[in-house]
Structure 1
Amino acid sequence: MMDLYAHFSHSLSQHPARHYVLALSGGVDSRVMLELLARYRSQHGILISAVHVHHGLSANADQWAEQCQAWCDVLAVPLRVERVNLDTTQGDSIEQLAREARYTALAGYIDQHSCLLLGQHSDDQLETFLLALKRGSGPKGLASMPRSAVFGQGRLLRPLLTVARSDIEAFAAQQQLAWVEDESNLDTRYERNFLRHEVTPLLTQRWPSIRQAVQRSAELCAEQESVLAELLADALLQAVQADGSLAIESLTRHSAAVRRQLLRAWLDRHGVNMPSRIQTDIIWDEVAQAEQDANPKLKLGLHHIRRFNRRLYCVGLQADVSAWSRQIKPDQVLDLPDDIGQLVLRVAPGGNLRIPAEPEHLRVIFEPQGLSACPVGRAGSRKLKKLFQEYQIPSWQRRRIPILMYQQQVVAVAGLFVERDFSGTDAELLWQQ
């Protein structure tokens, strides 16, 4: 049996950090890693902790969290249990939703001095490679999981990525370790489980070295993707605008193949899972090249791809706040919904608006439908819809800009203008986004 601790210790020594955070699911992989990490701490005196993400998908989820806590207590490893809720109405698979929620939760525990430790092994890598192959992925997808990568404000490391599951289980048996078994891992309706139980045993029986071969192929694909990124860096720099949007005109100068690669690189910057060939073609044909008066969009996971003023935008999914309304009081902070920020009507001489005689009738809304205003310096009133167009506000942002109202009149639109009838020097409207 291989010396698993020596392998683990060597991996961490190549990626030193002040604080190692273990993603502890309670399965055999992370359970073994907990034991190895505790031993590494005793030899090197480094700071360690663990995080258990509680998805609530299983009736046994509370028991798993309690078991992880018990193991950590024995080893004096601080544990945080992070509970997440999955929105199963989005249409994405449970596997994908759980994975995204898990990584989002873990990112909150990683700073520039931390390294997240994940328990994936060579069998996981083989399954990931086969899933990418099934999807028809290019080099980036076939690169599968890297041993080390930037994650959140710090890094992540998979110390056991080249170790077989059988070696991990043999170590657990030798050390008489207990672990939890997720009953869903036996459900072959899930693609990864189907590969694990029905496909990879046949492959490894026929070709015992297939795990190592797949790892080499994944590393070669990652290297090719890195070369592509280096060669296209200047083209991407020219296409990406200061606000993070992508200039459509810059893309038209390139071949379809280069254009697809630039789109993928741009989406990767926004944290979007790599699109398929069909999806990149839809982005170009049906979003970028839509009729001039159209308002096209394409949903990709937790994002929408939108177009405005001959640019492509990657927009996170947004809640509908058009029905939201709250009173605002001078000099008091008003928290806006859906992470839109905070608003303050600050009373200060030299401001640009007048506080009306009955300020208790001031309120903030987001619905511009049917409202009109005359900005200071203008001659006549116009519908807010037309004013938003003049101010070059993309359509998806027009119901996310705070509108200050006095009774039924527009007083100001945050960040854009003050209504002429409320011009003065009493106060100013400050929007902290």
Structure 2
Amino acid sequence: MNLTASRLLETLRQLPTASRCHLALSGGLDSCVLLHLLVQLRPQLPFELRAIHVHHGLQHQADSWQNFCEELCNGYDIPLKSVHLTLNVDSGESLEAVAREARYQAMADQMREGELLLTAQHRDDQAETLLLQLLRGSGPAGLAAMPPLARFDPGWLARPLLDCSRQSLEEYARRHDLTWQEDPSNQDQRFDRNFIRHQVMPLLRSRWPAAATTLSRAARFSGEMLMLVREEAEEDLAKARTKDGDTLSISALKQLNSVRLRNLLRHWISASGAPLPSSKKLVRMEQEAVHGRIDAVPLISWEGWEVRRYRDRLFLNPAQMIDLPAQPLAWLGGNELILPKGLGRLIAQPGEGGVSVTRWEQAKVEVRFRQGGERCLLPNQSHHRPLKKLFQEWGVPTWERERMPLVYLDGELAVIPGFCICQPFQARVSEDAILIEWIKV
């Protein structure tokens, strides 16, 4: 598209309604051009305009870049928020990736619910991103590269210049006599993106002059296909969810072919806030958790998360190593007991069908974890039942049984939270009662 204020205004009017918009201002050519365009449009903009500058501290010119952005915004009478970052890069991590993630998080922290963030990526950036994702072996989400609009908690991230070439931005800047800052690291070809920009793209253009346009179009098509793929995954997910909403039915998963199954698993994992596992891990989920032996209890772990199977359900949970206390935990009054880290808390509150208030107030209350051999006398039954058998009947996954807090009154098992009150501790109809709830998070 020709880079004009009127065309940009058309694009902005298609964005979600917001009372405030933040421009990511680095001080480089692209963001300075976008800022100038927005200033020209300010009387017509449907939102309040602000700018955010992120000071990484990675280069000795960082202070001068911040000063430049402050002077620029002062001249335009645009409020500017400068955010300073201290980056910690672990061994094996990409400085480029860590800086990018920290930059976006810093900008998200400055936004309120429903607000917009504008960034100045253009068509050439899109082409470079697509090539990077292809070389990394990315899936559909990666090949969609940068969407023009995406959710960005707590609001939206928009890229209104994706249809513009770098050349058109340069021409606009010269035409309006703009000044900007040059980042010398953009010439450092040790970074993959810079190598593609300075070595690969010129070579492609020498053979295919419209390479950037074509690659950008391919990314847009991939984005459209990704929308269809996600819609299909959402439909499959709705059919596979169990009644509790937290797990998936193995029987339902077995009805899907491999491609749809892995697509569903990726969607389910991503929607749960977990990082996506590798392709090998997904294959293991398919082979071991979905199509494995019915009596198997597989465990697939990655990056602090794990998928397990129990009977006809597939579970996704944060991986936790919990040191269970060997000694009982005393519950010394109050309506809440904080459990060891990772196990949540217990809440005692009035409710029907709970423990007799009289017994509760007079007894020595303790919380213990399974040691083996526990038994419970269920209401309306004449003999005690092993807790192991009860867990099997209730369908409690094996890995959750050891973590379940058991409430004892005067040394006897009284409450299995969420399941039952053992006799003789259940309140009679005429008595006040206390319910015990286990809050896992």
TM-score normalised by structure 2 residue count: 0.73
The size of the alignment, in residue pairs, is 425
Superposed CA RMSD: 4.7
| CA drift at 1:122 | 2.0
In the alignment, what sits opposite 1:392?
Answer: 395
Give yes or no for contact 2:3–2:164 (8 Å, CA) kept in 1: no
Q: Which amino acid aligns with 1:253?
A: Q
Equivalences for residues 21-420 of structure 1 within 5 A: 21-22=21-22, 24=24, 26=26, 28=28, 29-30=30-31, 32-37=33-38, 40-44=41-45, 46-50=47-51, 58=58, 63=63, 70=70, 74=74, 75-77=77-79, 79=81, 81=83, 88=90, 113-152=114-153, 154-168=155-169, 176-179=178-181, 181=183, 183=185, 188-228=189-229, 234-242=235-243, 243-271=245-273, 278-299=280-301, 303-315=305-317, 317-322=318-323, 330-331=333-334, 343-346=346-349, 351-353=354-356, 354-357=359-362, 368=370, 372=374, 374=376, 376-377=378-379, 379-380=383-384, 382=386, 388-395=391-398, 397-398=400-401, 404=407, 412-418=415-421, 420=423
In the alignment, what sits opposite 2:436?
Answer: 429
Q: What is the CA deviation profile of residues 366-422 of structure 1, one whole-angstrom value per residue up to 9, with x for unaligned ones?
A: x64568463653743645x66554433335555665555679776544433445465
Distance verdict in 2 for CA 1:246–1:427, change over 3 Å: closer
In the alignment, what sits opposite 2:10?
Answer: 10
Counterpart Cα distance in 2 of 1:423 and 1:211: 72
Counterpart Cα distance in 2 of 1:266 and 1:45: 36
| CA drift at 1:121 | 2.3
Distance verdict in 2 for CA 1:273–1:356, change over 3 Å: closer
Distance verdict in 2 for CA 1:175–1:244, change over 3 Å: farther
Distance verdict in 2 for CA 1:149–1:349, change over 3 Å: closer
Q: What is the CA deviation profile of residues 336-378 of structure 1, one whole-angstrom value per residue up to 9, with x for unaligned ones?
A: 787876643336797425435476x75x67x645684636537
Higher Cα Rg: structure 1 or 2?
2
Counterpart Cα distance in 2 of 1:349 and 1:419: 15
Q: Which amino acid aligns with 2:134?
A: L
Q: What is the CA deviation profile of residues 110-148 of structure 1, one whole-angstrom value per residue up to 9, with x for unaligned ones?
A: 666333323332232112211232234454432222112
| CA drift at 1:64 | 8.9
SS of residue matched to 1:313 = strand
Counterpart Cα distance in 2 of 1:299 and 1:113: 35
Distance verdict in 2 for CA 1:387–1:224, change over 3 Å: same
What percent identity do the matched residue pairs reach? 30
| CA drift at 1:12 | 1.1
Distance verdict in 2 for CA 1:396–1:80, change over 3 Å: farther
Q: Which amino acid aligns with 1:344?
A: I
Give yes or no for contact 1:21–1:116 (8 Å, CA) kept in 2: yes
* Structure 2 unpaired stretches of 5+: none
Q: Which amino acid aligns with 1:115?
A: L
Counterpart Cα distance in 2 of 1:169 and 1:338: 55
| CA drift at 1:233 | 6.1
